[in-house]
Structure 1
Amino acid sequence: MNEHTKASAGGCPFSGRGATFSALYHEGLWDELAEARQEEPVFFSQSDDYWIVTRYDDVMSILHDHEHFSAENTSDSATPMHADALKIMKDGGFTAEKVQSNCDGERHQRIRDVSSKVLNLRAFAALEPKIREFVNEALDRLEGRDTAELLSEVTYELPARVIFQLLGIPEEDMEQVKAWSGTRTTMNFSPSTYDQQIAGAKDMVDYWQYCVNHVKERIDNPRDDLASKLLEIRGGDDNVITLNELITVFYGVAFAGHETTTTQMTNALRALLTYRDQWEAICADPKLIPQAVEEAFRYCGAVIGWRRRAIQPVEIGGVMLQPGEPVIMSFGSANRDEAQFPDPHTFDVTRKNARKHVTMGNGKHVCLGAPLARLEVKILLEEITRRFPGLRLIEDAPVSHVKTFVFNASESLHVRLR
């Protein structure tokens, strides 16, 4: 950390809150962030090597300030990649680019415009019958049982089955693609060891080559799927989108299109079952479910932290940042900011402004798949409350979380079905 950064905080950034704070999900995180919002809303975290921004208005300001902040570090490896891992990826032909959530300016807008012609409300709405079919197939497997682990048995595969409909990925490849996605989560959003990076680099090469081969096959044999439609829009014109950019879009959607939704479904169910009166409310009145979906995005959003980098001197929350300094926007904290959400630590399916959450971003970089995620969680809640209204948490079941500063992702959800 340079002297300029130290001066920007009015002293050594390692003192006070930032000396002990970690943005990795952990027990007590919400209490720590609540204190920070009141006492030190922007602070430097020594363990994370990022400035942490906690208040809603400051987070929104950064999301909409493309003059002073860049999105290019959004998906950078949480631990700098070792040269050996980088060599594996280079030698393996890994040429993924920064194309959507992690790029800026004209390039971002050009590629987003192309992607949105395929990934849009009309395309997502057309999936509703298939989503409902997939949900009920998963719930059918629970009938006649007393207990279940809903993450592994329901929410893990559902979003993948849905997005793979759009992508044209065969269901027999689902387990492998999900495994590669888990590796990417570790590489990009969690601290990693040398051994994890070497293994991860090999996985990323395999994942990338899978996507390359899929797109190349669609060049010769187009179908009704994402790659084929993007290729048609491209029309061989690199000014529209290059082939490598197109493959990168496919590679990104094959990851982002299901991982966060798996987590959001799991979190929504846990919150509703923890606040039993809220579960009973949506069972009694299914019209509350869309609002419950938004409250779940706010209260227990899958994405709790997102990155930016200052590209010009800029003041945020009373702290002067200099070019190059990295920021974690704490979406989880912003979504519980008392200035925006009264009684923010309570889960309330009747909350009027729950949709103001920032879990899916905001502004130019707002998640293209947000409407699909909303639809999937809504349908799951509609069907599971209809079929299993007596669903309850197994209260003494252990709950562990993935150690990442980006996702609030538990690793199990044990329930009694009746």
Structure 2
Amino acid sequence: MRLDPFDPGCGRDPAATWRRLLGEGPGVCLDPGLGLWIVAGYDNVRDVLGDARRFGTAATLTPVTPLTGAALALLTSVHMTPGVVTSDPPEHTRLRSVLRSVIPGTAGAVRERWLPVVRQRAEQMVDELSEHATVDLVDQFSRRLPLLVMLDVLGLPAEDATMIDHCSAATVELIWGRPTAAKQLPALYRFLELREYCRALVRVRLTTARPSPGVLGDLLTYRSGNEALLSVEQATALLFDLLTVGLTSTAAALGHALEHTLADAKRWGRVAGDPHHRTTLIEESLRYSPGTDGWLRLATTDTVISDVTIPAGSRCLVLLGSAGHDQTVYPDPHIFDPARARLSRHLAFGYGPHQCLGAALARLVLSTALGTLARRLPALRLGADHTRRFRPSVVTRAHTAMPATTADSRCLVPDGPAGAQR
């Protein structure tokens, strides 16, 4: 059982990749090419993600491609306080409760608080798209909308969007990609630039007399000057996590949802006026093409999964994408079918103690984005030159571009359908 997430073919047809992996054995094995233990299949993924005691998160931000020379020396010299992504219980439980205190806990509360923000940003971006006959839906929409919404939600200045986007992309490449030796140091500088930006912002907001806006302001208010409750470095780490992991997964998921929807003109025609169809379509897109294909864990003790022993100290790549293509849970998983049953069981937002706290906001962004686009640009179609290309990563499968036309044209996907259709 081998996996090469850096092979363009792997991302172009994920259903075939997951079908092959799930058909070759128990779904657990050491991949010598990656130097990681592969964990595939619905039950296996749930077992690992649900067991924070035996599978920790300490190595989540350790680069999967070993750094060399100056990059290795610099990263080794830097101490970074763990955030919610890289901490384990009991500290993770405490930090998660801090975030829960400032992030609405239900989909209804998320919608009430942030729908106006998401809707305004979506309308603004569609205004810009409508001025052009041809557009790139990734560069001009699916990457930028989640970023601007995240800045609004956190209370960060929109003028910092480009810098944050570049630093976040460099972080993904550095940690979960395959940067060449020449690219490692520049990517690390971007990584550290974003970390320092978060730290400086926290410190400035702490010294400001007037209340700070957004979730960051709520966090600092909750902190109430108590360093033991939430230190400056912990607040920095939480902000960094949201601007990297949280942002990347939503942007990738929106790109996939756009492609799946636009691959069928009838499907696109229903999105604007049928909220139920839009909801089920988004859930099926999350099952078929989650924003996060894999996540990293570190085995803290010898552990048996599907009769295979994973040794203590092993780094594991837990394939969330494969869980959505497990035919024991989803019949005919290669078929993209928004009407299928049990859609809510997908693991696109993880499982267990680290299940994504921002899932409701991500769903709100996806639904508002698709609904606004379909209502405002009903003739939007994928361009004839659209081919699937993705940023190489073991964690995310994010589109690099998605050319489209805003005038009426035939929907073409030269590389094959975005999943067999039903």
Do both proteins adopt the same fold according to a TM-score greater than 0.5, normalized to the shorter chain? Answer: yes
Q: Distance in 2 between the 1:205 and 1:282 partners?
A: 41
- Matched residue, 2:4: 22
- Matched residue, 1:250: 239
1:130 aligns with 2:112: no
Residue by residue, what CA displacement relative to the aligned partner does 1:274-297 show, whole Å, maximum 9, x if unpaired?
A: 244433443453331111111111
For 2:161, give the aligned amino acid: M
Residue 126 of structure 1 aligns to a residue in which SS? helix
Residue 359 of structure 1 aligns to a residue in which SS? coil
Do 2:83 and 2:241's aligned partners in 1 also have CA atoms closer than 8 Å?
Answer: no
Residue 8 of structure 2 aligns to a residue in which SS? coil
Q: Distance in 1 between the 2:280 and 2:274 partners?
A: 11
* Structure 1 residue 354, shift from structure 2 partner: 1.6
Do 1:25 and 1:404's aligned partners in 2 also have CA atoms closer than 8 Å?
Answer: no
Do 2:272 and 2:370's aligned partners in 1 also have CA atoms closer than 8 Å?
Answer: no
* Structure 1 residue 409, shift from structure 2 partner: 0.8
* Structure 1 residue 36, shift from structure 2 partner: 2.3
Do 1:167 and 1:254's aligned partners in 2 also have CA atoms closer than 8 Å?
Answer: no
Q: 2:41 aligns with which of 55, 59, 64?
A: 55
1:318 aligns with 2:310: no
* Structure 1 residue 83, shift from structure 2 partner: 5.4
Do 1:131 and 1:379's aligned partners in 2 also have CA atoms closer than 8 Å?
Answer: yes
Q: 1:85 aligns with which of 61, 66, 71?
A: 71
Tell me whether 265-274 or 188-197 shows the greater mean CA deviation.
Answer: 188-197
Residue by residue, what CA displacement relative to the aligned partner does 1:100-159 show, whole Å, maximum 9, x if unpaired?
A: 122211100011111111122435631111211111111112225432211111222111
Relative to structure 1, the CA distance from residue 32 to residue 209 in structure 2 (aligned partners, 3 Å threshold; closer, same or farther) is closer
Relative to structure 1, the CA distance from residue 123 to residue 48 in structure 2 (aligned partners, 3 Å threshold; closer, same or farther) is same
Correspondences of 1:211-230 after superposition (within 5 Å):
211-221=198-208, 222-230=211-219
Q: Distance in 1 between the 2:217 and 2:269 partners?
A: 44
Identity over aligned pairs, percent: 25
Relative to structure 1, the CA distance from residue 60 to residue 346 in structure 2 (aligned partners, 3 Å threshold; closer, same or farther) is same
State the aligned residue count.
398
Give ranges in structure 2 of 5+ residues lacking alignment: 409-422
1:416 aligns with 2:410: no
For 2:252, give the aligned amino acid: T
Q: 1:369 aligns with which of 343, 358, 362?
A: 358
Residue 260 of structure 1 aligns to a residue in which SS? helix
Q: Distance in 1 between the 2:131 and 2:298 partners?
A: 52
Residue by residue, what CA displacement relative to the aligned partner does 1:46-102 show, whole Å, maximum 9, x if unpaired?
A: 2111111111011011111123211222222112333522443577xx543222122
Q: 1:146 aligns with which of 126, 133, 144?
A: 133
Give ranges in structure 1 of 5+ residues lacking alignment: 1-16
1:185 aligns with 2:169: no
Relative to structure 1, the CA distance from residue 287 to residue 124 in structure 2 (aligned partners, 3 Å threshold; closer, same or farther) is closer
- Matched residue, 1:109: 93
Q: Distance in 2 between the 1:39 and 1:88 partners?
A: 41
- Matched residue, 1:13: none
TM-score normalised to the size of structure 2? 0.89
Residue by residue, what CA displacement relative to the aligned partner does 1:229-250 show, whole Å, maximum 9, x if unpaired?
A: 2222222323322221111111
Do 1:305 and 1:329's aligned partners in 2 also have CA atoms closer than 8 Å?
Answer: yes
Tell me whether 282-291 or 49-58 shows the greater mean CA deviation.
Answer: 282-291
TM-score normalised to the size of structure 1? 0.90
- Matched residue, 1:96: 80
Superposition CA RMSD, Å: 2.0
Q: Distance in 2 between the 1:138 and 1:328 partners?
A: 36
Do 1:43 and 1:52's aligned partners in 2 also have CA atoms closer than 8 Å?
Answer: yes
Relative to structure 1, the CA distance from residue 60 to residue 188 in structure 2 (aligned partners, 3 Å threshold; closer, same or farther) is same
Q: Distance in 2 between the 1:279 and 1:186 partners?
A: 33
